Amino acid sequence: MSRVEERPRHHLDVLTVAEARSVIDSAVEGRAEDVRVVVDFDETLWLRNTTEEYLASLRPRLLAHAILLMVDLVRPWALLRATEARRLYRDWIRILVCTMLMPWSLAAWRRGAAARAERWKNRTLLDWLTKDHRLPLHVATLGLGVLVEPILRHIDPGATLVAAGSFWSGYRIRSRGKQASIDERHAGMVENAIVITDSEHDADLLAAAHTPVLVKWPAAEYRPAFSKSYLPFLYTQKAKRPGENYMLYGFLLEDVVHLWLAFAWIMAAPLVGALALLLLHLSFWAVYELGYVENDVLAVKHEAKPKTFAETAPYAARMKPVQAWAWALVLAIPALALLLAYEPQSLLLPGATASWQSFLLLYAVWIAYLAAQRVSFWIYNRLDTGSRGLFYVVLQIVRLSGYAVLLRINIVGAVLLLSLVVARWVKYIAYRDTGRTLAESQRLLSLAFFLVMAGGILATDPAAFISLQDVAALAWLAIYSHRRLRELGRSARLHLA
């Protein structure tokens, strides 16, 4: 009978460390001369996760934060439409993008490999395998080889990396599995091997192994990169409106697109203006987000039924007001510089030119605007809930229409921004009065208010409103509310009798 046929029944329950030791000792006894060991790397041979530790090691941290935030906001893996696309592609894409944009990072990782190996190597497992039984190690990982190899060399110079992801196609090993990747170059290895891993995702490897060992190590820890650090816009995305991808739909596709259509459209250099407005609104949001955190923290303290989520407290603890203001001030610099260089005629600042004096004056105006919005949110958060309905419109005007204190706007742009302000205000008043969210779509309400206000202006001064900008604004509002419009088209009935 062959060795494969003699394999014991697979035990895929999670073992304790003591149970794992007993299983390994029994498997080695009597066959130490030809036994192979295949060991998982992350959180098994090394007690941390190479992907997250690499991302956490990136410097400068501010740039790394910004890149990782944009990757998670855009979520490019969602476009691939693969089953479990996030698990297959996210880690690889994050590493690839960060390394391409910060090419010095791999060299820095290699320089720190010896210290990382010494600090987090699994001494207990190494003693069992290399000292007690003198077994050569074969390592298989879903991580990238360029990250694992430098550390593995310092953990055990004699170890062999038999399966790992490649830098340019790191997703492949996750879709194929470790077993298929090992068999490609080392056919028959796993069937005769002790496989030691902490991950249920290695089910293919455990199922093929002579002796599968699934064990969780008490000292192992998965620590997401920057998990305790402040990251701008994270609270909005993960805690204030979890699961809604609000930074895409609320921030970009509502706020920013409306600002583009209202202000950038009428600029001489609209693309430059669009970039400047995006940066300005990011600057604005870094401070605006402080109001969100304050709102939730105070709600937990003072409201009987606060509308908060499980994510609120941990993400609120990461908020750093000083860093939020720093982000806001830094993001505003290139935005205002672009406006001064390419669009001075669009600014309300008298005699604005591309000079440092004009920049400092414009910068002071922007800081005052940020301070005003912070004060307005501070007041709102301390009002009794019954009075907030009326004051909410102030927050929305500052959030959108308030840009008119800085930039020139025409009647079409003003109506477009006010339509969104009023739509949000109506939804909020209904919530405050009834305790329930208004069923009607905010997107459709915005379209309806735009049409109502546009109709009033057309009745008095058609020439001031009819333009290509008006058509573009109406088209965008219709496109953005297309689902609700289709629903109305299917469900609306006309009773003539």
Kindly report, residue by residue over 301-337, the tens digit of the pLDDT.
877 677 777 778 888 888 999 999 999 999 999 999 9
Pairing state of beta strands 36-40 and 193-197? parallel
pLDDT at 127 over 60: yes
Number of other CB atoms surrounding residue 104 within 10 Å:
10
Task: With beta carbons less than 8 A apart as the criterion, state whether 399 and 255 touch.
Answer: yes
Determine the average pLDDT of the residues in 216-238. Answer: 89
Confidence of residue 65 (pLDDT cuts 50, 70, 90): confident
Confidence of residue 32 (pLDDT cuts 50, 70, 90): low
**DSSP-derived 3-state class of residue 134:** coil
Angle at 332 between CA 329 and CA 333, to 5 degrees: 95
Task: With beta carbons less than 8 A apart as the criterion, state whether 94 and 147 touch.
Answer: no
Listing DSSP states for 44-64 in one string gives: TTBSS-HHHHHHHH-SSHHHH
Rounded distance, CA 191 to CA 206, Å? 10
Q: Which of 318, 494, 298 is nearest to 377 (CA)?
A: 298
> Could you tell me how far CA 180 lies from the centroid of its own chain?
31
Q: Which of 228, 25, 268 is nearest to 135 (CA)?
A: 25
Rounded distance, CA 57 to CA 64, Å? 9
Phi/psi at 223 (5° precision): -120, 105
pLDDT at 9 over 50: no
Residue with the larger pLDDT of the pair 81 and 497: 81
Residue with the larger pLDDT of the pair 478 and 439: 478
Determine the average pLDDT of the residues in 404-430. Answer: 94
Determine the average pLDDT of the residues in 63-89. Answer: 86
Percent of the residues in the chain that have a pLDDT greater than 90, as a whole number = 64
pLDDT at 483 over 50: yes
Q: What is the pLDDT of residue 4?
A: 36
Determine the average pLDDT of the residues in 468-480. Answer: 93
Per-chain mean pLDDT for the chain: 90
Rounded distance, CA 373 to CA 345, Å? 25
pLDDT at 199 over 80: yes
Rounded distance, CA 259 to CA 263, Å? 6
Determine the average pLDDT of the residues in 30-39. Answer: 78
Residue 277 neighbours by CB under 8 Å, 6+ apart: 256, 259, 260, 263, 264, 335, 403
Q: What is the pLDDT of residue 227?
A: 80
Task: With beta carbons less than 8 A apart as the criterion, state whether 234 and 69 touch.
Answer: yes
| Distances in whole angstroms, Cα of residue 76 to Cα of each of 10, 40, 81, 127 | 38, 28, 10, 42
Region for residue 353 given its phi and psi (left: phi exceeds 0; alpha: psi -120 to 50; beta: otherwise) = beta
First to last CA, the chain: 86
Rounded distance, CA 319 to CA 235, Å? 8
Rounded distance, CA 412 to CA 263, Å? 10
Q: What is the pLDDT of residue 10?
A: 44
pLDDT at 381 over 80: yes
The DSSP element (H or E) to which 453 belongs, if any, is helix 442-460
Q: What is the pLDDT of residue 306?
A: 75
Rounded distance, CA 449 to CA 207, Å? 61
Q: What is the pLDDT of residue 128?
A: 92
Rounded distance, CA 401 to CA 411, Å? 12
Q: Which residue in this structure is represented by tokens 């934060």?
A: 65
Mean pLDDT check: name the lowest of 162-176, 202-216, 434-448.
Answer: 434-448
Tokens of 442: 């905010």
Rounded distance, CA 49 to CA 221, Å? 8
> Could you tell me how far CA 16 lies from the centroid of its own chain?
35
Determine the average pLDDT of the residues in 150-176. Answer: 95
Q: What is the DSSP letter of 112?
A: T
Rounded distance, CA 389 to CA 393, Å? 8
Q: What is the pLDDT of residue 466?
A: 83
